[in-house]
A and B are shown apart, each in its own frame.
Chain A
Amino acid sequence: MHRFFSNRRLVIIAVGIITCLGLLTLSVTVRNRRNTPPIIQQFGNDVAGFADRVVSVPVGGVGAGVNSISQLLSTYDENQKLKQQVDQMAQDKVRLQTTENENKELRSEAKLNNSLIDYQPITAGVIARTPSAWQNQLVIGKGKTSGIKKNMPVLAGKGLIGRVIEVNQTNSKVELISDDTDTANRFAIQVTNAGGETVNGIVTGYDKDKNLLEMGQITTKVAIKKGDKVTTSGLGGVTPKGLFVGTIVSTSSDDYGLANKVYIKPAGNLGTVNVVTVAAKQ
């Protein structure tokens, strides 16, 4: 054992630790900047992205098999529920079309060409997930060449699941909304209650145990209750307005009667995600 503490070993270990800490500091600085990562990092990631696809295609096949078996078990119940929803859906669709047309006409009359709601959807496949319990990140198969930019919101399933944090030429990294870190960017969201009143706030955290989003920074007395829908507010940045975030599960008030913390059940699928939509603001 005494050989381990010989001088040469010590020097190598010390240099190793210092180098790694230096690199870590550097990458934090680069990450917090608005622009894309250094060229060498982009190049490395693009090469890794291509290599990853060779592995991910066969594993994807196996994964699809396992998932379809587990889904098969709940198919009957699901089918019953879905049948009921389909009828409702047809009605909603017609109404939506009528409203959309009316909205377009009204906007052209009011000379509003681009509103906060408009966005261009970019669909991308997920090629990998960070194998780590505390970095909830996905790697998606589209990058700068497809028009993806840093901080664009990402949707999957019924709603918002996260935002783009790093853009390479042919792939990008997505930080999931469940990533509760100091460095995470917060989404500006709003709640519309039954009376049509809106409450603005931001996503302030994620409760890992209960799988719920926390909404804070609320400074209004408008009553919000369980079941109210939460969407992005489109304020301050690249996120378009009206992306579905989730529904309210519970609210808690502080001593002054303001609802200071609201818990939201995320609508997006944060589990196995194979395809995502990146919402590029027009």
Chain B
Amino acid sequence: MRESGLRWTFIIGLLLSVFLDGTISQQFAGHLFRSSATAVPEITTLWLLCASFFEDQYHMPTYWFAVFAGVVFDLFYSGYWGVYLFIFPVIVWLARTLRQVLPVNLFATLLVGFLGFTIQPLLSWSALQMIGGTGTSFADFMVIDLAPTLALNEVILLILYVPLRQLYLRGARVQ
């Protein structure tokens, strides 16, 4: 019964992060979306990565929640079906697979974050490139978009590591 506490925290956190991504992008567009460097907040990816990487035993249908977050992203933000719907479950799978081989500490988490924050834009860029939904070239993508995005999200992850880790440790203890 107790595990439902962590479950609700996860769901509310996921919803918050989905909408925070869009709202932060909008409010700080002048600072984040410059033509020379574009840093995109990936709070949802961060939340899914941490939830999957910190989880000790799999009590939650995280994949389904990832699909749900993907649907909201596709419909509300992107307008194309099937992009984030695919990416977010891949993120969960990535974190869970790495959990088998890596210890859970700050550096491992930053490494998982590095991979996740790279794969998310890489896959969405590839999907949009395929259907002609973007004019950004691969070189521009790497230099202008990917590098600043990674930097921004790694910093956010660094700040949130301790509180999120504590949350999941406490959740595991209660169980």
Q: Which residues of A contact B (CB under 8 A)?
A: 4, 16-17, 19-28, 31, 37, 41, 44-45, 48-49, 51-52, 54-56, 59-60, 62-64, 66-67, 126-139, 165-166, 173, 179-183, 205-206, 208-211, 271-273
Question: How far, in whole Å, are A19 and B82 apart by their CA atoms in the complex?
Answer: 8
Given contact pairs A44-B75, A130-B25, A134-B141, A182 touches B80 in the complex (Cβ within 8 A): no
Please tell me which one of the listed residues A26, A48, A137, A210 contacts residue B35 in the complex, with CB atoms under 8 A apart. Answer: A210
Partner of B23, one of A37, A48, A60: A60
Given contacts A131-B40, A138-B26, A139-B22, contact A52 B76 (CB under 8 A): yes
Contacts of A206 in B (CB 8 A): 135
Residue on B with the closest CB to A21?
A: B82
Against A, the Cβ 8 Å flags (1 = close, 0 = not) of B84-116 are: 011001000000010000000000000000000
Does B27 contact A272, Cβ atoms closer than 8 Å?
yes
Q: A131-B40, A131-B41, A181-B133 are in contact. Are A60 and B79 (CB under 8 A)?
A: no
Please encode chain B, from 135 to 175, with 1 for each CB lying within 8 Å of some chain A CB and 0 for all others. 11000110011000100000000000000000000000000
B51 at the A interface (CB under 8 A): no
Contact B23 A133 (CB under 8 A): no
Q: What are 22 A-B contacts with C-beta separation under 8 Å?
A: A20-B83, A20-B86, A21-B82, A24-B80, A24-B82, A37-B79, A52-B76, A55-B20, A126-B26, A128-B23, A128-B25, A129-B26, A129-B29, A131-B24, A133-B136, A133-B145, A134-B128, A134-B135, A135-B133, A139-B76, A206-B135, A209-B36
B140: A residues at CB distance < 8 A: 208
Are A183 and B132 within 8 A (Cβ)?
yes
A24: chain B residues at CB < 8 Å are 80-83, 127, 130-131
Known A63-B28, A133-B145, A135-B134: A128·B22 in contact at CB below 8 Å: yes
Q: Which residues of B contact A132 (CB under 8 A)?
A: 40, 77-78, 121, 124
How far is B42's CA from A25's CA once the two chains are assembled, in angstroms? 25
Smallest beta-carbon distance B11→chain A, Å: 13
Q: Number of B interface residues, CB 8 Å?
A: 55
Contact B28 A45 (CB under 8 A): no
Q: Which residues of B contact A56 (CB under 8 A)?
A: 19, 22-23, 26-27
- Inside 8 A of B77's CB, which chain A residues have their CB? 128, 130-132, 135, 137, 139
Q: Determine if A23 and B79 form an interchain contact, defined as CB atoms under 8 angstroms apart.
A: no
Closest chain B residue, CB of each to CB of A23: B82
Given contacts A17-B86, A182-B132, A209-B36, contact A131 B21 (CB under 8 A): yes
Could you say which residues of chain A place their CB within 8 Å of the CB of B80? Answer: 24, 27-28, 31
User: B61 at the A/B interface (Cβ < 8 Å)?
Assistant: no
Q: A139 to B77: give the CA distance in the assembly, Å.
A: 7
Nearest B residue to A37 by beta-carbon distance?
B79
User: A180–B25 Cα gap in the complex (Å)?
Assistant: 19
Q: How far is the CB of B130 from chain A (nearest CB, A)?
A: 8
B127–A128 CB distance below 8 A: no
- In the complex, the answer to whether B82 meets A273 with C-beta atoms within 8 Å is no
B27 to chain A: which residues have CB within 8 Å?
56, 59-60, 62-64, 66-67, 272
Please give, as numbers and ranges, the residues of chain B lying within 8 Å of A20 by CB-CB distance.
82-83, 85-86
* Contact A27 to B82, CB < 8 A, known contacts A56-B19, A133-B33: yes
Give chain A nearest CB distance to B14 CB in angstroms. 12
Q: Are B128 and A135 in contact (CB under 8 A)?
A: yes
Are A48 and B133 in contact (CB-based, < 8 A)?
no
CA distance A49 to B131 in the complex (A): 26
Which of B72, B83, B121, B127 is the one whose CB lies under 8 Å from A133?
B121
A175 nearest in chain B by CB position:
B79
A134 touches B76 (CB 8 A): no
Give chain B nearest CB distance to A185 CB in angstroms. 13
Please name the 4 residue pairs, one residue from A and one from B, whose CB atoms are nearest each other, closest first. A63-B27, A23-B82, A128-B22, A182-B132
Extra inter-chain contacts (19) besides given A37-B79, A49-B76, CB under 8 Å = A16-B86, A17-B86, A20-B82, A23-B85, A24-B83, A26-B82, A27-B74, A48-B75, A52-B22, A52-B23, A56-B26, A128-B22, A131-B22, A131-B25, A134-B125, A137-B78, A139-B76, A173-B79, A183-B133
Measured CB to CB, the nearest residue on chain A to B136 is A134
